[in-house]
Chain A
């Protein structure tokens, strides 16, 4: 595939590096002359063409080879430049697919409405992860209001603890405690009695304070 990248900053640089490794042909446009030289000397390959110029300038895009481009990716640090580059590519030069990075997450909606095919915001992605953590506290708050004795907790199975390499059915889980899931790597395991815990597993459970205290000892290495 022929891919044009607008912006040779950190994102553009590593994008060029990884995409050209997958045998794509990369045309990268960067305004700063010394940055262009750096990209050529560090990444130089037959599959990478570097053009020095303004990626929102019609003439520069033409010179960089936009007529042969399948996908344009705009990753400069300025949202307005990314938008204009994508619009020129799509509406003027007929590039089929445009992808843009936005710095301000509020611009995701704006870019989508104005015709950019895919919009990516790292701020939004990070905020999303943090929000998931926040939801967690919300749930706990709700539980506290409705039934003050019940808590939701996350515990880590420590290396050398009682619970390590033990089946859940042998763990002696108190009756009032529910083990909701076991997080291992990027998987969430729905637990059964035969689930065997490993060190590093994150166990999410719900129950009363007393029961939680009792079970939490089995996840930790106890020092006498």
Chain B
């Protein structure tokens, strides 16, 4: 779900490992970011449209990663996958730490790039300080 920088890199990592990957994005030009080596199926369409999700095979999917740049879209698609199609593993990207807290408590498994980046910077700065 989402073929931006995160999506495209995730796709190539997963297909390298031999997983069967389907990637959905609203913008068909975004698929040019996929390396020529990634062997995956691409679908152009609104990720939260159930027809698009079905075409992508949501009914048989083992896992879904929602990594579009729209937090709310990620949250909505993830809930559809989890609660309506019972996809066993669903992971949601949300850039807003507060939203991450709320929707984690509602049962979503979330990753927040903002928190991860802040933590990484914080650690790096701390390390730099101790090295001094």
Contacts and interface: CB of A to CB of B under 8 A. Distances in A.
Physical interaction between A and B = yes
B17 interface: no
Given A58-B98, A92-B102, A110 B80 contact: yes
Nearest to B46: A104
Interface in A43-100: 56-59, 78-81, 83-84, 87-88, 91-92
Contacts of B50: 106, 110
A87 B76 CA distance: 10
A128 B122 CA distance: 56
- Nearest 7 CB-CB pairs, A to B? A80-B72, A80-B76, A84-B72, A58-B98, A80-B73, A92-B102, A81-B72
Given A58-B96, A91-B102, 20 more contacts: A58-B98, A78-B72, A79-B76, A81-B72, A83-B72, A83-B76, A83-B79, A84-B71, A84-B75, A84-B99, A87-B106, A88-B102, A106-B49, A106-B50, A106-B51, A110-B76, A113-B83, A113-B84, A114-B79, A114-B83
Interface residues of B, number: 20
Contacts of A106: 49-51
Interface of A: 56-59, 78-81, 83-84, 87-88, 91-92, 104, 106-107, 110, 113-114
Main secondary structure, interface of A, reads: helix
A113 B86 CA distance: 13
A57 B49 CA distance: 23
B116 to A, nearest CB: 20
A110 B80 CA distance: 7
Nearest to B77: A80
B99 A79 contact: no
A106 B46 CA distance: 13
